[in-house]
Structure 1
Amino acid sequence: MPMAIVLKGAVLVSAALAIVVGLGACSPLTLLNAVTPSSSYDKSADIAYGDDPRQRLDVYRPRNVGAAAPVVVFFYGGTWRSGKRADYAFVGSALAARGIVTVIADYRLYPQVRYPNFIEDSAAAVAWTNRQIARFGGDAQHIFVMGHSSGAYNAAMVALDKRWLAQSGLSPSIVRGWIGLAGPYDFLPIENPDVKPVFHFPDTPTDSQPINFALAGSPPALLIAASDDKLVSPQRNTGGMAVKLKAAGVPVTELYFPKPSHTTLITTLVWPFQHLAPVLDEVDRFVKADGRKVVADSTD
């Protein structure tokens, strides 16, 4: 790599860090967006997929790509209590740079709603994508759902539990595969006090757990976790989901990486942090292979 490019990259990262330090209250997600180029995509923002102000999405369409590009619908984390799609522009940029049309959707949060309303929103965003994404150069026959942390839960429920897409007259068969980053898929009894009211604790329904829907015929899965995740047990959640899906004959790619944490796993999509784990490469490979190709499991 030319030294000028390396130096330019280092200067940009240093400058962004300096800006964040100077602003004081600037969030880490603002930093990620600050160092992420916007030259790879055209953005269509604030599109309604429902009537509530939180039922909005943004579409990132890759430049210099023909029609019928693969599509990823992404849901962010935040314990179903916080988050906004604008903070995850870096996800749209990273995937668009790989030729993937990316939809980033907001969904209603606690305390406005509780389980299962945020899943209903997520399914409605996927249904909108199925019906409208061709207008943005996406292929409705190649839609993947993806999420990080609690967003991975949303993605899993949409992909695995037929109840939610059925509300839009669709089924999980419209999903070619799903991608979970550090997702909680099996968390009863609930221990996190922030999550308890979200899921009606102590009356949390057992059908709120994605692992119960890991059945034959489910879409292929790419499951990625930080091997030393302190917030969501990778052994119980990612590992347990992988075991159930594989036992049902579902293609699964299961990957664990030692350098990122639960929180920083999503940051590896951004170029200053891609050295922590090849998450972007794995997502790109999974999507481009249409969810069928299963690479060797890895802990590197």
Structure 2
Amino acid sequence: MPSPILPVTVKQSPEHSFLDPSPSLSPPTSANSIMLLKQEILDDPTARLLISSPFDEETAVSTKPLLSRSSSFVGTTTIAFTSANSYQKRRRRIASDTSLPSLSDTGSPRQSVSREIGHAAAETFLLTRLSLKLLRYLGVGYKWIMRFLALGCYSLMLLPGFIQVGYYYFFSSQVQRSIVYGDQPRNRLDLYLPKNTDGPKPVVAFVTGGAWIIGYKAWGSLLGKQLSERDIMVACIDYRNFPQGTMSDMVKDASQGISFVCNNIAQYGGDPNRIYLMGQSAGAHIAACALVEQAIKETSEGESITWSVSQIKAYFGLSGGYNLLNLVDYFHSRGLYRSIFLSIMEGEDSLRRFSPEVIVQDPTLKNAVSLLPPIILFHGTDDYSIPFDASKNFAETLQRVGVRAESILYEGKTHTDVFLQDPMRGGKDQMFEDLVAIVHAGDPEAQEKDAGAPPRRRLVPEFMLQVARRVSPF
């Protein structure tokens, strides 16, 4: 009766593979002896071959032999050889059973959904981490607690609309998310592409709001969705928020994003000769600062530029503030405390530097101001986050210094009515129609399509919109 086979663990090293047993395991033996013993093992059903798992290649386990080393030299060599064959067969079987299906599943709906869920989780983690960092900086005061509670209620009321827009944002093939435009954190933009691809499309480069603290590119998804349905491409530009960055960082990021759009939008189907710049709330202020700063660079000697103000057909400011000297105390009364606001704006001395309304009045910058494109400012008269006078006064100042500008005011509309509640209400949205009319001016074919466009679908019941309007912290 054949001798029982002993348990042996084989460790693979760079010098010795399983098919070339290490000399430390056994001395050389004849090929005939190996083949005879191997056949004996395979023919004997009572023989048991014990080896370590092939997945533990880098772990050597010391075992105490049951018989003396002299009586098991040949058996040990046989086991090493048999282990090698067994490992190779199992390795090939694993490759067949796991690797090939994974290749054939590439691009499957299940994997696509998994990627989207992973992306959403990563985005949520980023926002949560930055929010916690911000809370540590701000402290938890009474006004901030009330603001966050109000924000929670507001978001809950608009949740049906957020879910529908979020589904579109993550799963629509018309949305290209997180296109890299720079090397800084959050130098990303989302691109909303029209379904109709018959020729280059006008482009709106959009900078989202968020009180310079909670801005995020996805906040523009509702606007991007609706404008793309009217054959207008939208690029939502993300930027560093406070405390990740201060005002100069935000302006720099926005300018880089605008540069990317101006220089690369043609390859996505956009018309480089019809680019419009737009910002909402804090984003309107940031975009205006970037526009004015770029005009100054173009008239300064030795300044290198990557885009030109002449590439922007018009600037749209939605519910923005453009004179920080007039707003710092108002923001303080609303809970954006003076100390925090000045930290965002890099100190009190920088308030003039980041106030476009003040800058354009500097007589030494007359040449730069003359380069500015037409400027249209939208604002609701019941806006209590940023008073509508901010847009009205800026438009009048621009007109005095020779810039084509106008303010369009919407009676009874709040800060969020013109950007969220009205678009989610469906039907006709006056601000949206005004915006589209300006972009499509001079394009009879697009105007004809706009006239025949079906009314937009309601996303949120009316009673929830009314409650959201009452509890809105903005």
1:202-221 map, 5 Å? 202-214=348-360, 215-221=369-375
State the 1:29 CA deviation: 6.5
State the 1:125 CA deviation: 0.3
Instruction: Measure, in 1, the Cα distance between the counterparts of 2:154 and 2:359.
Output: 41
Q: 1:29-54 CA deviation, whole Å, 9 max, x = no partner?
A: 75434345949971111111112331
Helix, strand or coil: the match of 2:174?
strand
Q: Root-mean-square deviation (CA), in Å?
A: 2.7
Question: Is the aligned partner of 1:284 residue 2:436?
Answer: yes
Q: 1:234-263 CA deviation, whole Å, 9 max, x = no partner?
A: 11x101111122223322232111232112
Instruction: Measure, in 1, the Cα distance between the counterparts of 2:250 and 2:158.
Output: 22
State the 1:187 CA deviation: 1.9
Instruction: Measure, in 2, the Cα distance between the counterparts of 1:196 and 1:264.
Output: 28
Greater share of residues in helix: 2
Count of aligned positions:
266
Question: Is the aligned partner of 1:154 residue 2:286?
Answer: yes
Helix, strand or coil: the match of 2:264?
helix
The answer to whether the 8 A contact 2:324-2:354 is kept is no
Aligned-residue identity in percent: 26
Distance 1:227 1:122, change over 3 A: same
Give the stretch that moved more between structures: 25-34 or 181-190: 25-34
Instruction: Measure, in 2, the Cα distance between the counterparts of 1:223 and 1:24.
Output: 29
Partner residue of 1:184?
321
Q: 1:138-196 CA deviation, whole Å, 9 max, x = no partner?
A: 01111111111000012212223325786643221111111001101012152221422
1:4-43 map, 5 Å? 31-36=160-165, 38=168, 42-43=174-175
Partner residue of 2:251?
119
Question: Is the aligned partner of 1:173 residue 2:310?
Answer: yes
Structure with greater Cα Rg: 2
Partner residue of 1:86?
218
The answer to whether the 8 A contact 2:316-2:377 is kept is yes
The answer to whether the 8 A contact 1:33-1:87 is kept is no
The answer to whether the 8 A contact 1:246-1:252 is kept is yes
Structure 2 runs not aligned, ≥5 long: 1-151, 332-336, 361-368, 443-474
Q: 1:205-237 CA deviation, whole Å, 9 max, x = no partner?
A: 4121111344333111111101122121211x1
Question: Is the aligned partner of 1:266 residue 2:419?
Answer: yes
Instruction: Measure, in 1, the Cα distance between the counterparts of 2:222 and 2:210.
Output: 16
Higher relative contact order (CA 8 A, sep 6+): 1
Partner residue of 1:70?
202
Instruction: Measure, in 2, the Cα distance between the counterparts of 1:32 and 1:172.
Output: 36
Structure 1 runs not aligned, ≥5 long: 1-22, 291-300
Match of 1:232 among 381, 386, 394: 386
The answer to whether the 8 A contact 1:127-1:168 is kept is no
Instruction: Measure, in 2, the Cα distance between the counterparts of 1:48 and 1:86.
Output: 15
Instruction: Measure, in 1, the Cα distance between the counterparts of 2:401 and 2:195.
Output: 39
